[in-house]
Structure 1
Amino acid sequence: MPAGISLRPAIFGDQPFLETLYRSARPDLQFIDGPPELVETVIAQQYAVHAQGTGEEYPNAMHFIIEKTQTAIGALVVDFGHNEVRVIYVAFILAARGFGYGKAILRGVQQAASTAQCPVAVVVWHNNPGAKRIYLELGFQVEETQLMADRMVWYPGKPQLP
């Protein structure tokens, strides 16, 4: 991983950071037509649904805070299931985007999955072409396309692009 980048388990005290991070990762919610109070309410509700849904669908998922020199810059939620490793959520604050940190974190997930000889799966929204590009660069392939998102999978033993 790049110098100074580390992961640590998320704790309850990280909630304010995670809420702010979610807001920055969902700029589409800022374009809701309505008064600011309505927009704030919808964003808060969407975050609650995101957090609750992740907990219900992936009760054994591991929640991490990504830090650079001990300052929170992102989050990773990953589930090591029976047949695959699933990247559920990865996001960075705006100031930490574009430096290759996400790619480095994902390479770490690939390395762990490779050790277990497990594929890594992720769902990438169509409105996030930058994320899709990164996953393709890391050797993921589109396995399923739906209306709003693609399911992409990386298999261990397949060559990675640099």
Structure 2
Amino acid sequence: MTRPDPPDQAGVPRRLRRRLTLHVREQGDRGSASLELIGVSVLLLVPLFYLVMTLAQLQAGAYAVSGAARDAGRVFAESRDVGAAHSRSQAAARIIFEDYGFASGDVQVTCLDDPCLGPDARVRATTSLRVQLPLVPDVVRGVVPSEVVVHGEHLATVDRFRGGS
């Protein structure tokens, strides 16, 4: 005749507790690897996604100011009249900013030589743009910068041999 196992403090026989403990040890980690992979992936992918979005926005801003400065300087240097040159260069820069998805930017064109549009005269076009960082909530705008200012500059030369007056 076999003796029954004496119960432990919780009232569960020792043999049954031993079998349950072994079963839990064998089965305890089953299925948790996929859950850990999902958790770690989310923790890594969300900041990576934000970083890519932010860098793409900043890169678009850098291309916009560079292109706007280049085109504003070229258009100004190809003009015949200084008054028309300013309005044409502003329009050229505005088109470039809009092409890159920005509503507006600042453009300043200055003549470095006198006369301004004489042969071999130099013209400096300077642009700046405020690039809004994506997904920055209004609550943290006082603590975290919500925009970055990007600058561009281009030096254009008036053609030496252009015809006409």
TM-score range, shorter chain: under 0.3
Give 1 or 2: higher helix fraction: 2
- Structure ID, larger Rg: 2
TM-score, normalised to structure 2, is: 0.24
Give 1 or 2: higher strand fraction: 1
Q: Which has the higher contact order (CA 8 A, sep 6+)?
A: 2
